[in-house]
Amino acid sequence: MEQRLEDVRMSIGEHLEELRRRLFYSLISFFAVFLVTFYFHGPLRREALRPLDQSLEHLKTIVAAKRAEPGYKPHTKKLKIASLPFVVEKTDAAGAKQYEDFKFPNDWRILKTNETGEKSYEPAVAPFEIEVVDETQVDMRPMVLSPQEGVFQDLKLAMLIALLFAAPILLYQIWAFIRAGLYDSERRAIGPYLPLIILLFLMGVAFGYFLMLPLILRQLETWLPIDEVNIQNRLQEYLSLFYTFTFWLGMIFEVPVVMMILARIGFVSARGFLKAWRWAVLGGVIAGAILNPAPDIMTQMLFAAPIVGLYLIGCLLAFFAESSRKRATERRLER
């Protein structure tokens, strides 16, 4: 008969006391790490914005190359002048606004062409329309729409990074609470995989940050005609994309270890996982369509491919875990 970790069963009150203690240690650990991450919120924000900066630098080179093409014609728009003189708003170095009359030399004149092709300049009489160049502007600075938005986004980012750094401590506290109710075989099945859980999560975060996020940003930034729009990025919207391709990809990378643990404790067989590969492919495609904001099918397939690949790796690891469980059972029966 397998023995539990505790020789004497714990009462409900003792379980609640143990739970309170583990929660207290977890909160203290998280809060201590959060204080450090929030103190460095500026460098952390700049690192989080690095993929966006790289994407916008790439976009600026595309815009510059397009404008350098022979025969390039800049995008223009019509501006209606209702009265003369035309008043222009300006801001001086101190931030004060000034209003000045905007005049060309010799006042406003309009270029006209007669029937014979001769060109002449005539005095402008309001109202009339002029064409002004309206080309793409790539703003490298993310935009916030309220004074408190930047503070809230820095808090949210610092909390996520703190959760990432405190994950080993939090995971240990969870394990310390549940292991008292596990049999010896269950503890041996789950315990050795705890470092692997952290490693796979970090691999998922790195995969999203260094590969998937820059790829998705380049697809999104060039989706609209670059000579017809101004590129502006809101901080909140970008960070939401950043969390999707770091935190949630880290969670998706836990699929192989979860499958291995389930096979190790005998909950699901490795053959059962392998039989369900079609559902895994379908789930990967659906997840790629939901989590990936890029509308093209190629990018969605690139997002779904790692999910399907992780499931197949999980099937292979499940076979090894199942074999290990069978050998452990045989050794136990021989005693």
Lowest mean pLDDT among 32-46, 77-91, 217-231: 77-91
Helices (H), the chain: 12-39, 41-67, 147-165, 167-178, 184-190, 194-207, 213-221, 235-243, 249-252, 255-264, 270-275, 277-291, 297-334
Q: Which has more pLDDT, 83 or 69?
A: 69
pLDDT of residue 157: 94
Whole-prediction pTM:
0.71
- Name the range with the highest mean pLDDT among 82-91, 137-146, 231-240: 231-240
Percent of the chain with pLDDT over 90: 15
Closest CA to 41 of 156, 211, 179, 138: 156
Instruction: Kindly write down the DSSP assignment for every residue of 129-163, as one continuous string.
Output: EEEEE----B--S-B-SSHHHHHHHHHHHHHHHHH
Q: For all residues of the chain together, what is the average pLDDT? A: 77
By CB neighbour count within 10 A (0-12 exposed, 13-18 middle, 19+ buried), where does 246 fall? buried
Closest CA to 79 of 135, 127, 132, 124: 132
Q: Which has more pLDDT, 113 or 196?
A: 196
pLDDT digits (tens, 9 = 90+) for 304-328: 888 888 898 989 888 888 887 777 7
- Average pLDDT score over residue span 207-227: 81
pLDDT of residue 307: 84
What 3-state class would DSSP assign to 289?
A: helix
pLDDT of residue 39: 95
- Average pLDDT score over residue span 245-252: 87
